[in-house]
Every structure is written in structure tokens, then in C-alpha cells.
């Protein structure tokens, strides 16, 4: 037990080192390359351009207009943090997130008007979970049931059919299938909404509002499941097929154990570590959202948040905070896996 605790502590420290490394790489890629400065300066210039045009209607003296533009530039540069060099502002942001203070966004806000990044994340995360995590759970459930079944029927008609389906499912991009489904189910058949999160007008509150949200999630979830379930089934099948052909499985069957017991105890138990790895990392990854699917279905989740922070109105503080959150989620998932490996297979030691 003491060994296990020591191992896990070392593992946690290693993963923390990974977190630091990711954040360091982020600072370098955003700051040292000048990318962040250029991004923010472009935003400042765009806002100043609009400001100059609107101010020119009321400030007729060019010298006074220039004075006003200079004053506005100073304000906006301070607003975006450009009054400090990247090596001054970015380490401070990294230190803040490491102390679990995600800080304040510059341009992004919640629907309630809060600029606290933690509020923004908490607003978007449930929406992404409804979409991505639901899809991941459905995919994993179908994948485990069908994949394990296939591993016991290698070469059968079902096996071949699912192999073809897996190839198609893997090849089809989610955004393309999403658009196709919108055309079919929303515009042709008119049975599901084309996008967005609520109807127009939306239900005021309560269960009706939740049901409305769920109705809007059907098409994107269906899309995500269809593009991910094929490869998932195939990978489960591949991971379990070797175990299914082991001698101890044949022995179990020869002993007259039921097929469900054989599957559960003698196949799945052996193949569990890689399957669990995929499942846990998939669930953790689902919390990061999907930029393309959320964009196609106009779903304001974590994927869109990351995209907005980078491209819409650049928000450096949000980029740093989200990178931290996503990395942390991944590392927590990895740490959980380390514990689960030990539980699943007592032989595992690091």
C-alpha cells in the first residue's frame, strides 16, 4: 500500500511537470513568437479604425481627432494588456491559473454579464457535456456491447458489415454529416430544429426549457455518435479479439460457463486496461468541446469558447485559462487511469 501511495505521488508530480511544460510551451508559442501581440494589436487597430470613423462625424478638427484616437489607443492597449510586454503579463497569467484563479476575461462574458473566466467556463461546460459527453457515453455503450460481441464472431457477416460501417463512420467528417442531417431532418422532414439551443420563442423556464434544450441536442448528439461509434466498435473489437482467442477463454467455455460470464470475466477483464484508457480519455476530452460541431449546430459550448477566445475577439487570458483547464482535465484523467490500472491489474507497477 505504501508503495502504491509513493508511486502515485511520483506520478502526480510527473503530471504536474507536464502541466507546467504545457503552460511554458503556451507562453512561448503565444508570447515569444509575438503571435499574441500581433493578435491583440490587430484587434486594437480594428477597434481604432471603427472609432476613427465614428469620431470623425463629430470631431472635425484633424488634430483633435488624432488626439482622441491616441487617447483611445492608450485605453484599449491597456484594456488588452498591451501596455505590458508579453514576458511581463503572460507569466503572471500562468501563475494566477496555477493558483486556481482563472482570472477575468477581457472581451468574453457570460450571458449574465460576468467576466470571471470561471463563470464563463461554468456556463459553457454543462452545454458541452450535454452534447459531447452524452455522445461519448452513448458511443462507448454501443461500442462496448457491439465490439465485444464482434470479437467473439470474427469473420462473420456481422463482423464484416461492422468493419465497413466503421470505415465509413471514421471517414465522414462530423461537420459534413451535421450539415447533411440539418438538411434532411430540419429542412426536409421538419422533425428536429436546425440548430441553436432553444426554440423561438423559447420556453420561459423549468422542465419545458430543459426539454427544449434536449430536443435541440438530439441532432448534434446523433451526428457525433454516428461519426465516432464505428471506430469505437472496431477498436474495442480489436482490443478484445486477442483476449477472446486465448486458451483460458476456450477453457472457460469448455468448463461450461455461460457466454456472458466468459465475456465479462475472461475477455473484458483482460482487455479492460486499453478499453478503459480510451473511455476515460474520451470522456475527459469530451469536456473540451468540439469547435466544428458546435459551430455547425450553433451550440455555445467549450469548443466555441476556445475558438472565440482565439479568433473572434482575441482574449489572451481565456486562452491561457482554457489551456490550463483542458490540460488539467487530461492530467486528472491520466492520474485516474493510473489508479484504475493498479486496481484492474495488480501486476501493474511503475
Partner 1 sequence: MVRLALDESVRVWLVTALQSFPVRSEIEHLTEDIVSGPRNLFALRGAEIAGSSEIRVGNLWVWTERTTWNPVSGFGDVYSSDIYKNMVDPALVNHPFTGLPTPFRASYAVETAGPDGSLDIPADAVMWNPASDSWEDVPAGSTAKSKVTFDYSRYLQSSWHHGPPVTMADVIYPIAQGYEIAFDDAKVQIETALGITSRPLYETFRGYRFGESSLEVYVDYWHFEEGYIASYATPSSAATPWEILAAMDDVVFVKRQGAYSDTAAARFSVPWLSLVTESDARLVLRSIRQFAREGTIPTGVFDIGGESLVTEEEALARYEACDEWFDATNLLVLANGPYQLTRYDPPAQFAQLDAFRPESYPFTVEDFRFGTPPSLDIEGIVAPSVALGDPIELGVTVNGPGELSVQYTFVDPTIGAVLATAAAEPQPDGTFLISIDPSVSGSLFPGLYQVFVLAASSELAQVAQQRIDLEIGV
Shortest Å distance, C-beta 133 to partner 1: 19
Task: Say how many C-beta atoms besides its own lie within 10 A of residue 338's C-beta.
Answer: 17
Tell me which residues in 53-72 interact with partner 1 (CB under 8 A). 55, 58-61, 64-65, 67-68, 71-72
Tell me which residues in 102-141 interact with partner 1 (CB under 8 A). 104, 106-109, 111-115
Shortest Å distance, C-beta 62 to partner 1: 11
Q: Identify which of residues 66 and 259 has a Cβ nearer to partner 1 in the complex.
A: 66
Query: Are the CB atoms for 318 and 246 separated by under 8 Å?
Result: no
Shortest Å distance, C-beta 225 to partner 1: 24
Q: Identify which of residues 52 and 253 has a Cβ nearer to partner 1 in the complex.
A: 52
**How many residues belong to the site for partner 1 (CB under 8 A)?**
37
Residue 130 in grid coordinates? 450535454
> Count of residues for the chain?
350
Distance CA 64, CA 115 (A): 33
Choose which of 99, 200, 206, 346 interacts with partner 1 (CB under 8 A). 200
Stretch that binds partner 1, among 153-161, 173-181, 219-227, 306-314 (CB under 8 A): 306-314
Choose which of 277, 313, 338, 342 interacts with partner 1 (CB under 8 A). 313
x/- binding map, residues 18-57, to partner 1, per CB under 8 A? ---------------------------------x---x--
Q: Assess 196 for contact with partner 1 (CB under 8 A).
A: yes
Interface with partner 1 by CB under 8 A: which residues?
Answer: 51, 55, 58-61, 64-65, 67-68, 71-72, 75-76, 78-79, 104, 106-109, 111-115, 196-202, 300, 308, 312-313
Amino acid at each position: 500500500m505504501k508503495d502504491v501511495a509513493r508511486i502515485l505521488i511520483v506520478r502526480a508530480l510527473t503530471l504536474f511537470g507536464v502541466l507546467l511544460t504545457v503552460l511554458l510551451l503556451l507562453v512561448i508559442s503565444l508570447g515569444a513568437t509575438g503571435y499574441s501581440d500581433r493578435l491583440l494589436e490587430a484587434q486594437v487597430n480594428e477597434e481604432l479604425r471603427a472609432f476613427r470613423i465614428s469620431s470623425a462625424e463629430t470631431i472635425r478638427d484633424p488634430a483633435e481627432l488624432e488626439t482622441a484616437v491616441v487617447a483611445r489607443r492608450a485605453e484599449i492597449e491597456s484594456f488588452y494588456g498591451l501596455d505590458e510586454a508579453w514576458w511581463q503579463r503572460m507569466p503572471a497569467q500562468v501563475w494566477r491559473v496555477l493558483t486556481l484563479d482563472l482570472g477575468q476575461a477581457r472581451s468574453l462574458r457570460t450571458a449574465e454579464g460576468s467576466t470571471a473566466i470561471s463563470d464563463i467556463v461554468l456556463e459553457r461546460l454543462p452545454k458541452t457535456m450535454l452534447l459531447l459527453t452524452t455522445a461519448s457515453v452513448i458511443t462507448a455503450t454501443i461500442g462496448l456491447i457491439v465490439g465485444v460481441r464482434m470479437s467473439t464472431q470474427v469473420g462473420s457477416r456481422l463482423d464484416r458489415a461492422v468493419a465497413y460501417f466503421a470505415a465509413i463512420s471514421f471517414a465522414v467528417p462530423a461537420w459534413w454529416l451535421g450539415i447533411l442531417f440539418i438538411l434532411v431532418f430540419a429542412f426536409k422532414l421538419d422533425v428536429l430544429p436546425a440548430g441553436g439551443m432553444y426554440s423561438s420563442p423559447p420556453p420561459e423556464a423549468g422542465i419545458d426549457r430543459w426539454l427544449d434544450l434536449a430536443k435541440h441536442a438530439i441532432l448534434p448528439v446523433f451526428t457525433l455518435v454516428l461519426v465516432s461509434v464505428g471506430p469505437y466498435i472496431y477498436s474495442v473489437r480489436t482490443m478484445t479479439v486477442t483476449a477472446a482467442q486465448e486458451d483460458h477463454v476456450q477453457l472457460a467455455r469448455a468448463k461450461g460457463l455461460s457466454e456472458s460470464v466468459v465475456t465479462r470475466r475472461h475477455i473484458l477483464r483482460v482487455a479492460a486496461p486499453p478499453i478503459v484508457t480510451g473511455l476515460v480519455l474520451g470522456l475527459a476530452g469530451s469536456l473540451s468541446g468540439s469547435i466544428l460541431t458546435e459551430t455547425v449546430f450553433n451550440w455555445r459550448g467549450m469548443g466555441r469558447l476556445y475558438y472565440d477566445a482565439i479568433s473572434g475577439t482575441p482574449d489572451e487570458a481565456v486562452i491561457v485559462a482554457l489551456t490550463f483547464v483542458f490540460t488539467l482535465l487530461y492530467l486528472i484523467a491520466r492520474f485516474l487511469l493510473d489508479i484504475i490500472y493498479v486496481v484492474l491489474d495488480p501486476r501493474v507497477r511503475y
